[in-house]
Amino acid sequence: MNIAEFRKAGHWPTLLAAFLYFDISFMAWVSLGPLITFVAHDLHLSVPEKFSILSIPVLSGALLRVPLGILADTIGSKRTGVGAQTIVLVATVLVALLGLPSEAAVKAFALVLGLGGASFAVALPQASRWYPPKYQGVVMGIAGAGNMGVVLDTLFGPSLAAHYGWQAVFGVLLVPMAGILAYYIYAVKDAPGQRARPQLATYTKLLGNTDALMFMLFYFITFGGFVGLANTLPLYFTVQYHLSPVAAGLLVSLIVALGSGFRPVGGAIADRIGGVRALSLLFGVVVVAYGLIALLPADRAVEGALPFSLATMPAMVWPAVLLFSIGVLALGMGNGAVFQLIPLRFGRDIGVLTGLVGCAGGLGGFFLAKTLGLSKGMTGGFGPGFLFFAGLAAAGCLALFLVKHTWRTTWGATSGARV
């Protein structure tokens, strides 16, 4: 790719601002995941209850993506982004000052954090509208790579909480939130041209469109798998292998960094070899990785034993880290591949469809978190939950096989890019 040509093709300050806005919003969205052990310490919650709490911001973010996408198409992405980020900022200030004294307060805060996840429906169309078809994969990959915010959560959150208390973590989070909001207000610009006003008929039409439903399924698997694991893996490692929250957070930061950082790579590869081929290969990797994860044994340490640090944890943790890293890498690249295809097929309805597809992705994350919690509660292990998720990825492979010929010979043939 010619970098100089790419910079001239669109508006890079908006692309950078959209990336940073999504980054900090995503950080807020999944901030409870690495801290749930600390927050829930005094609430005496069971493992399934903790997983249920972690599913709330994911579900809220999924459901809010559609109305936020509508609002962005109605009043503009910039105004919508500023308003949503301000609400999350105010809620974080209150938590940093007052804490979360009850389970009801935790759930209420989790609902508000969903606005951070809903920022997806603002940031990606905002960046996409500035660039031509041949750059859609890399542009949507860059904007979507803002989900690297979760890396900062898992890397620093547990350590700060262990030394200064979990409320201090939200106080620290306010600094980048406020700074990036200020930059976003300064730098971002809505693309020129008249926005298509969203109509109920548009949503009805897209929900009845087979291609749109396919994209929703694919993102349910890729983004749902990524965000669901990013939010629940810290708890998984503390339960499955008796790691300390700090050790679990460090391992998860390594795992999710791969999925976040390689999202643009997935988009760029899809630009080169076609989104269908790229996504098919990546789904295959997910099937193998999470099928093997389902077979891994748990650590049988005595209940109540001191949690393991990185230096003392059992060797059986490392195969899990390797398999999760491979799987999350494939999921992150899959996110980029899905959004290489969407603008090619639904360029005129990109705002509406991004909201719908983003909603499906968030629902996938909620589904994964709930499935793992139910699996642990009903069977005593996480294996059945991961096997079910591997089966979903296999279903994605089958769906791609069924549609690839039609896509490549219809809209793909006139899209101006490889499908």
Kindly tell me the burial class for residue 201, based on how many C-beta atoms sit within 10 Å of its own C-beta (0-12, 13-18, 19 or more): exposed
DSSP result, 190-256: PPSSPPPPP-HHHHHHHHT-HHHHHHHHHHHHHHHHHHHHHHHHHHHHHHHS-B-HHHHHHHHHHHH
User: Is the entire prediction scored with pTM above 0.75?
Assistant: yes
Beta pairing partners, 243: 308
- Contact (CB, 8 A) for 71 and 128: no
| Cα 330 from Cα 283, distance rounded (Å) | 7
Name, in order, each residue with C-beta under 8 angstroms of 115's C-beta and a sequence gap of 6 or more: 25, 60, 61, 64, 68, 84, 85, 87, 88
Largest CA distance in the chain: 64
At 117-172, the pLDDT tens digits run 888 778 877 887 777 777 776 777 777 666 667 777 888 888 898 889 899 999 99
Nearest CA to 227 among 283, 147, 321?
147
Handedness of CA 179, 185, 190, 196 (dihedral sign): positive
Name, in order, each residue with C-beta under 8 angstroms of 23's C-beta and a sequence gap of 6 or more: 145, 146, 147, 148, 149, 180
| Cα 220 from Cα 218, distance rounded (Å) | 5
| Cα 267 from Cα 26, distance rounded (Å) | 19
Domain boundaries, the chain: 11-188+206-413
What does CATH list as the number for 11-188+206-413?
1.20.1250.20
pLDDT tens over the chain, length 419 residues: 556 666 666 777 888 888 888 888 888 888 888 888 888 777 777 787 888 888 898 889 888 888 887 888 788 888 898 999 999 999 999 999 998 888 889 999 999 999 988 887 788 778 877 777 777 767 777 776 666 677 778 888 888 988 898 999 999 999 999 999 999 999 888 877 655 666 777 788 888 899 999 999 999 999 899 888 988 898 899 889 989 988 998 999 889 888 777 777 888 888 889 889 999 999 999 999 999 999 998 876 655 556 888 888 888 899 999 999 999 999 989 988 898 888 888 877 776 787 788 889 888 988 888 898 889 888 888 999 999 999 999 999 999 999 998 998 888 887 777 88
The token pair at 266 is: 């997935």
- How many other C-beta atoms lie within 10 A of the C-beta of residue 159? 15
The residue written with tokens 């629902």 in the block is 363
| Cα 76 from Cα 190, distance rounded (Å) | 7
| Cα 93 from Cα 98, distance rounded (Å) | 8
Which pLDDT score is estimated for 198? 64
Kindly tell me the burial class for residue 12, based on how many C-beta atoms sit within 10 Å of its own C-beta (0-12, 13-18, 19 or more): middle
Beta pairing partners, 258: none
